[in-house]
Chains A and B, each alone.
Chain A
Amino acid sequence: MRTNCSLRPPTPPDYKWLALLLLLPMACDSDSVTEDGAVVPDGAVLADQAPSPDTVAGPWANVFKTNPVVDNKQTTQVLLANITSSTGVLTGKYVDVWNCLPEPGGPPLQLMGMTGTLCHVKQQALPGADGSYLQIKPPDNYVAGNDSFAEVMMYHHIDTIRRHYSEDFGLKHLDQQAIYALVNLQGYINGMNAWMGMPNAAFSPGGAFLQAVGINVKGDAIVFGFNNSALTGLPLVNFTYDASVSYHEYTHYTIGGQTLALTAAPDKYGLSPTPLALNEGLADYFPSSFLDNPRLGDYALGNQARDLTEDHRCPADLRGESHNDGTIPSGALWAARQVLGSTVLDQAVWNAVLTFTAGTTFDEAAVAILAEIKKVAPDKHDAIKTIFETRGFAGCVRLVQHKDFTANPFDPLSGAGYPGTYSVQTSYPDGLPAYLQYKVAIQSTTQEVTITYHGEKSSTYGSGGTGDVWVALKPGSDAIVYDYSSGAGKHDAKAVLKGATDGTNDKLVLSGDCVQQGDLVFQFLNRDNAEGQLTVIKVSQSDTKTNTVDNFTGCGR
């Protein structure tokens, strides 16, 4: 779904939805708010939920089978299975759905000196006189944040994906308890007279995210919001209306809060950002496979939907942002699905996923999945292995040929991410290694090499300023490698140097024995608490020495 609104300049990645509460909502025409409500096609039912002959009136309901775009705003009648509540609210055996309505009664909200109220948590959807929920239809305004249809959508789709995982792959642990699901999460800011939706969705292990705002949840939870502000630059959508987003969050829950949870894991090349990225990739792949649609978030994410048919590879497409980097394994798995079929592949992948730990990397995961494939489809093993290796899902060496670039500091996908000491609990004496290493060819006539770079720290509410970023240098074509046997990450680079600032960027000027014909490998090392991204990396070579004051001339060769 597209809106007619102009896009707002992107905001920093760590702005979360509460920061958006500071933005005035803008009246904005979009097809999501001007179209009429849904039309229920006569006799349209999901094939696997056709009523039995003796069914007179059951808990039928209207849902978007996929999303309003794919379904052309046509709803489908389905049976809401496994409801256990006596009152008809959508509490069931496997999912407990609550709404968060724009009305008084919620806990107080405080943010950056402003006060307000969080939405009121309650269950609103109830059956009609005939025992069905058919009177609940999509609202005229999808992002009003007060609809019962969101509850119905959530209940149906979580029960659907749970049944798929449990019955088709044997993930019976999902049958043991109901997950808490909250829709229409929003907040009211005093003085602004506006309710602002959370333009996102999330999985909260243990419900901590909700407990911290005064919502008493015991156990894992998934939460969904909507975007009612054109200022976010996102389409005006309700995230609950996109089944693939519901499946995505539920897949995070299925994987588990302690699994694939590390933002970065120590490895041979420094720090690998792949465990959390793999979590995201799996949470994209399984829903896409179930829907037989390689585009994740086609409605909710608009032009940012993730397309699993795109050929994303490690290291070329690695950015240090988990959703972006997750497209590398999800794309590899989608390609493998074309070879093996979803039934066999998805079972093999789940078999492997259940054994993963918090820090399982792309390479370890790929090896484990290949081992499962070898058990059930040995004739396809080599073909899948080739796919995994070609994509860098397996065997990725995070060393790339350097190309000059200048990134948008507010776009997390345009720079090169690096971790901060606060988010990594492993010691690296010279600084935390950035995720990628670069290789540049030094020409025979070169007398001086200048590496120009800028590290932009991130913070919760925007840019955190210039980072304390150093450069590790190693002559030759081989990657810098790390050894941890001493208890800390020691690299085999020959020098670690800090560029001098010119007010905007850091410049590292090399000459003497620091400059010799052949390849030079370098890697940025962060000494700050905060993570960030390299927004400028440029390398220039000169046949003459232009700077004899600050040059580094002895690099220990």
Chain B
Amino acid sequence: MCRATITVGAALLAALSHVADASPASKFLKLRQRAEHAVQTITGRAQDVTVRWAVDRPTPAMVLGLQVPTQGADASQRAVRFVEQHQDLVGPVTLRPLDVRSTRDLTVVRLQQEHRGLVVLGAVATVALDSGGRVTALHSATRPVTLKDVRPRLTASRALAVASGALHSRASGGVARLAILAGAPARGAGEPRSGAERSACAPPEVKGAPDVTARLVFEVTLPMNIDPRGRRHLVDAHSGEYVGWQVGVIGDGAEVRR
């Protein structure tokens, strides 16, 4: 399988450079327009094409009913070339082939988004190909990331301590790895309004709309005696702030009422 890392959207990034200081909304709309054009181009007059747009990302969550011929030595190469040729469908992101899975009818290549060599959590695109090597579907959870500084300002052991402390524990141990959390504004951006505004009754406003596309985080797994839920905790690798958690053990609870 192709292990090369591919970067798509270099031209798009350059094109967007002039709006670097623009609002998140204008960036979003710019990328959405490009993605819409890409969808139109790729679907053409094909019938039975279905597109679902992501609400919180400028690119489509899925495009179904495609029949796009591709070239490549294997499915992985074909998927990579497809994404390279239709980069606006996934936005200006770097993708690396993650794995190839198949059923009787199709082959699915999963592509993991990376940013400066770090995994972007949860940001995966899948490209489905039929037996003739044609791309039939694209699913994507990718997000543009412009975070420049990916050097942590705290150590992994400090991140473990922060996560442990968030659970009111002083115990040590666990595993931490650096990653990118995309779509997560830094502290202060878009925080809830204060209680003093409770009687305002005014239409809601976004206070301090976030202009941060991503955070550098430590993804922390704590020992079970600290967190029996087995969650993956997130600690901001710049500020040391405890960000939150994501599901670490799936399917715990074959039953739920006890």
Residues of A within 8 A of B (CB): 10-11, 13-19, 109-111, 169-173, 199-205, 208-209, 211-214, 232-234, 239, 245, 248-249, 252, 257-258, 261-263, 266-268, 276, 279-280, 283, 297, 300-301, 304, 321, 323-324, 347, 350-351, 354-360, 363-364, 367-368, 371, 374, 411-413, 421-431, 460, 470, 472, 482-491, 493-498, 514, 527, 529, 552, 554-556
Q: Does B232 contact A (CB under 8 A)?
A: yes
In addition to A351-B106, A487-B28, A497-B198, 8 A-B residue pairs with Cβ atoms within 8 Å of each other are A110-B225, A212-B174, A214-B223, A258-B122, A276-B250, A430-B193, A488-B185, A488-B189
Smallest Cβ distance from A182 to chain B, in angstroms?
13
Q: Which residues of A contact B43 (CB under 8 A)?
A: none
Q: Looking at the complex, which one of B55, B104, B126, B225 makes contact with A482 (CB distance below 8 Å)?
A: B55
What residues of chain A lie closer than 8 Å to B32, measured between beta carbons? Answer: 485
Q: From residue B139, how far is it (CB to closest CB) to chain A in Å?
A: 5
CB neighbours of B239 from chain A (8 A) = none
Known: A427-B190, A429-B206. A169 touches B104 (CB 8 A): yes
Given contacts A171-B103, A357-B124, contact A15 B185 (CB under 8 A): no
Contact indicator A16/B55 (Cβ below 8 Å) = no
Are A427 and B185 closer than 8 Å at their CB atoms? Answer: yes
- Contact yes or no, B249 A202, CB < 8 A: yes
Q: Is B222's CB under 8 angstroms from A212's CB?
A: yes
Q: Is the CB of A413 within 8 A of B256?
A: yes
Cross-interface CB contact of A234 among B108, B126, B198, B258, cutoff 8 Å: B258
A423–B228 contact, CB under 8 A? no
Sample 27 A-B pairs with CB under 8 A, ordered by A number: A109-B225, A171-B101, A200-B253, A208-B232, A208-B248, A211-B175, A212-B174, A212-B227, A249-B251, A261-B247, A280-B251, A297-B255, A351-B106, A364-B52, A371-B64, A374-B48, A413-B256, A425-B183, A426-B183, A429-B207, A485-B25, A486-B24, A486-B25, A486-B209, A487-B211, A495-B201, A556-B203
Check A263 against B204 for contact (C-beta < 8 Å). no
Q: Which residues of A contact B201 (CB under 8 A)?
A: 494-495, 497, 514, 552, 554-556
CB of B257 within 8 Å of the partner chain: yes
Cα separation A483 to B53 with both chains bound (whole Å): 12
B258 and A11 within 8 A (CB): yes
B247 in contact with A263 (CB, 8 Å): yes
Q: Check A202–B209 contact: CB distance below 8 A.
A: no
Q: Which of A201, A214, A359 contacts B141 (CB 8 A)?
A: A359
Interface residues of B in 77-134 (CB under 8 A from A): 99-106, 108, 122, 124-126, 128
- List the B side residues contacting A360 at CB < 8 Å: 61-62, 139
Given A204, A324, A486, which contacts B206 in the complex, CB threshold below 8 Å? A486
| CB contact under 8 A between A527 and B192, given known A171-B103, A172-B102, A364-B62 | yes
B176-196 vs A, CB cutoff 8 Å, 1 = contact: the mask equals: 000001011100011111010
Task: Give bound CA distance, A363 to B124, whole Å.
Answer: 19
Proximity bits, B224-258, A CB within 8 Å = 1, else 0: 11011110101000000011111111111111111
Whether A355 and B108, one on each chain, are in contact in the complex, defined by CB atoms closer than 8 angstroms, is: yes
A364–B64 alpha-carbon span in the complex (Å): 11
A427 touches B23 (CB 8 A): no
| Cα distance, A74 to B19, chains bound together (Å) | 71
Contacts of B181 in A (CB 8 A): 425
User: What chain B residues lie within 8 Å of A202 (beta carbons)?
Assistant: 230, 249-253
The verdict on A16 contacting B255 (CB below 8 Å), with A258-B124, A485-B29 known, is no
Q: Which A residues are CB-close (under 8 A) to B62?
A: 355, 360, 364, 367-368
Q: Which of B122, B126, B204, B245 has the most CB atoms of chain A within a 10 A radius of its CB?
A: B204
Q: Is the CB of B108 within 8 A of A354?
A: yes
Q: Which residues of A contact B203 (CB under 8 A)?
A: 494-495, 556
B202-218, CB < 8 A from A: 202-207, 209-211, 213
Contacts of B232 in A (CB 8 A): 208
The 3 closest A-B pairs by CB, nearest first: A170-B104, A422-B244, A484-B56
Collect the chain A residues with CB atoms within 8 Å of residue B76's CB: none
Contact for B126 among A13, A356, A374, CB less than 8 A? A356
Instruction: Please name all residues of chain B whose beta carbon is closer than 8 Å to the beta carbon of A208 when the two chains form the complex.
Output: 175, 221, 230, 232, 248-249
A318 to chain B, nearest CB (A): 14
Q: Which residues B22-62 have CB closer than 8 A to chain A?
A: 23-25, 28-29, 32, 48, 50, 52, 55-56, 61-62
Assess the B252–A10 pair: CB atoms within 8 A: no
Report if B199 contacts A (CB, 8 A).
yes
Whether A213 contacts B223 by the Cβ 8 Å rule is yes
In the bound assembly, the distance between CA atoms of A83 and B251 in angstroms comes to 27
> Are B251 and A262 in touch, CB under 8 angstroms?
no
Give the residue name and chain of the B residue nearest to A279 (CB).
Answer: B250
Q: Is the CB of A488 within 8 A of B209?
A: yes
Contacts of A234 in B (CB 8 A): 255, 258
- Asked whether A371 lies within 8 Å of B48 as measured between CB atoms, the reply is yes
Given contacts A356-B126, A368-B137, A427-B189, contact A171 B102 (CB under 8 A): yes
**Identity of the chain A residue whose Cβ is nearest the Cβ of B242 in the assembled complex:** A422
Residues of B within 8 A of A209 (CB): 224, 230, 248-249
A205-B183 in contact given A170-B103, A429-B192, A429-B193 (Cβ < 8 Å): no
Most chain B beta-carbon neighbours within 10 Å: one of A169, A212, A368 = A212
Q: Which of A213, A355, A487, A556 contacts B224 (CB 8 A)?
A: A213
Q: Are B251 and A252 in contact (CB under 8 A)?
A: yes
In the complex, the answer to whether B250 meets A173 with C-beta atoms within 8 Å is no
- A380 CB to closest chain B CB, in angstroms? 16
Report A-chain residues with C-beta under 8 Å of the C-beta of B23.
Answer: 486
